């Protein structure tokens, strides 16, 4: 074994890579694990608190989730909650607020009432709020600028006192901190090590970074949009292209909402619906967003990555067909144009306020500002074989000892769930033991708790 040889190397120190680092350290017999991060600290891209919506997606108020998807998301959200409570991270990493999804107008109200009935079986804590109740718990969604009740028919479906909000950067830091405390194994983190090349020679992976050379028996690439970039370099995932969808936010000049207020989602769109909620990093001021905009780069607010975008898109007739189909749909076309306008100074605020007034009818342009430096990039996958934009996360398990993960929303919520999926593959491949009983005891929701939030 050379000095730079590890059983497992994880590439990328966002929420996905750090969660895997923690689970491998805590629940497996892997004796040497290494995390390689390109920048000088953890979670500076999509997992940073200002890049994402800070929502622990449990599936109860996300109207774009089917019941089947909600079952899965709920399990992984619970893992994050249990981990945080186990380590007493309440009000440091995980926060509780009220939460709800609003139905506005006859059609949405009808839809929300039906959804409430269906989802109540999985989420017994869900409540249905009429206008009167909404006026008590979230008055800003009911009253206009003159203090008058909005005329629309309206209903809210939500919960009180649930853990709804996570600082995913802080969570990433805790994963690494807690893993480095494990003294009986080698757990190393190297910053400023951008992985340039991965090569498999025999059964060993050779990983070349801007600073050094490493080798490993197994590699997991949790590098966000760059996961697919690195996969393509090795000849994997060539049937996938990547569409970077940026999301921006607007911040209010004062606190407007008490909790998370989502809207009914257009099922054709792969992103969480526009919502408003207290920003845990900006003293509870209300944050509205995210928007959705195609950006020709893989990392937001960092120089470069335009060429990486072009390479990862892998433009061909299949990609053009996917774009043509998307643009052929009037709803999607309007959504794309509108979201583009949300980024253009002067007109952006005026337009955005029109949309956000569906949540807060009293909202005016002076109440909000474009949140500069906020927002990230969702690495949406284009499935070229089936000529479709994939709506969720994607993982390429090559079966050869290397996995590549691409994690748009709700990738931060699913961090521990995705990690355990990979832990099982790694243990199988390297004949390591996985303490499944310990993992389930610590992180999986127990039968008796299922009636809680």
Ligand X SMILES: Cc1cc2nc3c(=O)[nH]c(=O)nc-3n(C[C@H](O)[C@H](O)[C@H](O)COP(=O)(O)OP(=O)(O)OC[C@H]3O[C@@H](n4cnc5c(N)ncnc54)[C@H](O)[C@@H]3O)c2cc1C
Q: How far is the CB of 44 from ligand X (least distance, A)?
A: 6
Query: What is the rounded distance in angstroms from the CA atom of residue 313 to the CA atom of residue 355?
Result: 31
Query: Out of 20, 34, 47, 140, which residue is the one contacting ligand X (CB under 6 A)?
Result: 47
Beta-strand runs (E) in 295-354: none
The 10 Å CB-count burial string (b at 16+, else e) for 401-413 is bbbbbbbbbbbbb
A 10 A CB-CB count for 304 gives: 10
Cα 142 to chain center, whole Å? Answer: 29
Residue 275 binds ligand X, judged by CB under 6 A: no
Helix (H) or strand (E) holding 288: strand 286-289
Q: What is the DSSP string of 139-152?
A: GGGTB-TTSPBP-S
Which residue's CB is nearer to ligand X, number 80 or number 155?
Answer: 80
Interface mask (CB under 6 A) for ligand X, residues 375-414, using x and -?
xxxx----------------------------xxxxxxx-
| Residue entry with tokens 């966002």 | 14
Query: What is the rounded distance in angstroms from the CA atom of residue 230 to the CA atom of residue 292?
Result: 25
Q: How far is CA 61 from CA 81, 147, 168, 169, in A?
A: 17, 27, 20, 23
Residue 59 binds ligand X, judged by CB under 6 A: no
Q: How far is the CB of 302 from ligand X (least distance, A)?
A: 8
| Count of residues touching ligand X (by CB under 6 A) | 42
Query: Out of 28, 50, 52, 305, which residue is the one contacting ligand X (CB under 6 A)?
Result: 52
Cα 273 to chain center, whole Å? Answer: 13
Q: Write the Ramachandran bin of 142: left for phi over 0, alpha for psi from -120 to 50, otherwise beta.
A: alpha
Residue 50 binds ligand X, judged by CB under 6 A: no
Q: How far is the CB of 144 from ligand X (least distance, A)?
A: 28
Query: Out of 33, 49, 57, 284, which residue is the one contacting ligand X (CB under 6 A)?
Result: 57
Query: Out of 290, 392, 401, 417, which residue is the one contacting ligand X (CB under 6 A)?
Result: 290
Interface mask (CB under 6 A) for ligand X, residues 348-377, using x and -?
---------------------------xxx
Tokens found for residue 121:
């079986």
Query: What is the rounded distance in angstroms from the CA atom of residue 160 to the CA atom of residue 334?
Result: 35
Residue 156 binds ligand X, judged by CB under 6 A: no
Query: Out of 16, 58, 179, 215, which residue is the one contacting ligand X (CB under 6 A)?
Result: 16
Helix (H) or strand (E) holding 443: helix 436-443
Site for ligand X in 25-44 (CB under 6 A): 36-39, 43-44
Helix (H) or strand (E) holding 381: strand 376-383
Q: How far is the CB of 150 from ligand X (least distance, A)?
A: 26
Residue 74 binds ligand X, judged by CB under 6 A: no
Q: Which of 216-224, 303-311, 381-389, 423-431 is the region at the interface with ligand X (rule: CB under 6 A)?
A: 216-224
For 307, the 3-state DSSP assignment is helix
Residue 293 binds ligand X, judged by CB under 6 A: no
Tokens found for residue 194:
């951008």
Q: What is the DSSP string of 58-125?
A: -SSS-TTS-HHHHHHHHHHHHHHHHHHHHTT-BTTTEEEEEEEEEEESHHHHHHHHHHHHHHTTT-TT
46 φ, ψ (degrees, to nearest 5): -65, -25
The length of the chain is 453
Residue 55 binds ligand X, judged by CB under 6 A: yes
Query: Out of 24, 27, 50, 53, which residue is the one contacting ligand X (CB under 6 A)?
Result: 53
Q: How far is the CB of 16 from ligand X (least distance, A)?
A: 3
Q: Which of 8-16, 93-101, 231-239, 430-438 is the region at the interface with ligand X (rule: CB under 6 A)?
A: 8-16
Q: What is the dihedral of CA 160, 162, 168, 172, to 10 degrees?
A: 160
Query: Out of 26, 30, 46, 236, which residue is the one contacting ligand X (CB under 6 A)?
Result: 46
Site for ligand X in 164-203 (CB under 6 A): 168, 194-195
Which residue's CB is nearer to ligand X, number 223 or number 234?
Answer: 223
For 175, the 3-state DSSP assignment is helix
User: CA nearest 79: which of 419, 429, 362, 369?
Assistant: 419
Query: Out of 247, 276, 361, 417, which residue is the one contacting ligand X (CB under 6 A)?
Result: 247
Query: What is the rounded distance in angstroms from the CA atom of residue 292 to the CA atom of residue 61?
Result: 20
Which residue's CB is nearer to ligand X, number 36 or number 154?
Answer: 36
Which residue's CB is nearer to ligand X, number 149 or number 343?
Answer: 343
Residue 49 binds ligand X, judged by CB under 6 A: no
For 291, the 3-state DSSP assignment is coil
Which residue's CB is nearer to ligand X, number 312 or number 407?
Answer: 407
Q: How far is the CB of 292 from ligand X (least distance, A)?
A: 8
Residue 12 binds ligand X, judged by CB under 6 A: yes
Query: Out of 81, 138, 222, 279, which residue is the one contacting ligand X (CB under 6 A)?
Result: 222
Binding site for ligand X (CB under 6 A): 11-17, 36-39, 43-47, 51-55, 57, 168, 194-195, 222-224, 226, 247, 290, 375-378, 407-413
């Amino acid at each position: 074994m050379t000095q730079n040889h590890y059983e497992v190397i994880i590439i990328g120190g966002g929420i996905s890579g750090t969660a895997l680092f923690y689970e491998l350290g805590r629940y497996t017999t892997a004796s040497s694990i290494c995390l390689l991060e390109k920048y000088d600290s953890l979670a500076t891209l999509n997992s940073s608190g200002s890049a994402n919506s800070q929502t622990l997606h449990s599936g109860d108020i996300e109207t774009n989730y089917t019941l089947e998807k909600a079952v899965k998301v709920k399990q992984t959200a619970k893992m994050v909650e249990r981990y945080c409570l186990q380590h007493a991270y309440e009000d440091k990493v995980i926060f509780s607020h009220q939460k709800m999804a609003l139905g506005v107008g006859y059609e949405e109200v009808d839809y929300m009432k039906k959804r409430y009935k269906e989802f109540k079986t999985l989420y017994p804590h869900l409540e249905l709020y009429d206008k009167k109740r909404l006026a008590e718990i979230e008055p800003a969604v009911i009253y206009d600028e003159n203090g008058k009740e909005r005329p629309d028919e309206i209903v809210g479906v939500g919960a009180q006192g649930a853990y709804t909000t996570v600082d995913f950067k802080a969570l990433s830091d805790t994963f690494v901190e807690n893993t480095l405390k494990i003294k009986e194994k080698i757990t190393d983190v190297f910053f400023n090590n951008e992985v340039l090349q991965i090569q498999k020679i025999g059964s060993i992976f050779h990983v070349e970074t801007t600073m050094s050379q490493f080798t490993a028996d197994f590699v997991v690439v949790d590098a966000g949009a760059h996961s697919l970039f690195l996969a393509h370099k090795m000849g994997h995932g060539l049937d996938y292209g990547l569409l970077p969808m940026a999301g921006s936010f607007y911040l209010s000049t004062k606190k407007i909402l008490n909790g998370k207020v989502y809207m009914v989602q257009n099922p054709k769109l792969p992103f969480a619906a526009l919502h408003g909620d207290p920003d845990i990093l900006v003293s509870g001021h209300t944050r509205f967003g995210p928007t959705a905009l195609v950006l020709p780069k893989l990392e937001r607010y960092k120089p470069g990555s335009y060429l990486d975008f072009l390479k990862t898109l892998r433009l061909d007739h299949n990609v053009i067909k996917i774009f043509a189909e998307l643009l052929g749909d009037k709803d999607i076309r309007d959504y794309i144009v509108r979201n583009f306008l949300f980024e253009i100074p002067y007109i952006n605020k005026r337009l955005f306020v029109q949309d956000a007034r569906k949540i807060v009818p009293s909202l005016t342009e002076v109440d909000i500002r474009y949140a500069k430096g906020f927002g990230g990039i969702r690495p949406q996958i284009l499935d070229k074989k089936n000529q479709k934009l994939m709506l969720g996360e994607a993982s390429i398990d090559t079966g050869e000892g290397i996995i590549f993960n691409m994690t748009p929303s709700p990738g931060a919520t699913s961090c521990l769930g995705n990690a355990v999926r990979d832990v099982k593959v790694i243990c199988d491949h390297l004949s390591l033991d996985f303490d499944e009983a310990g993992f389930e005891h610590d992180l999986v929701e127990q039968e008796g708790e299922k009636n809680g939030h």
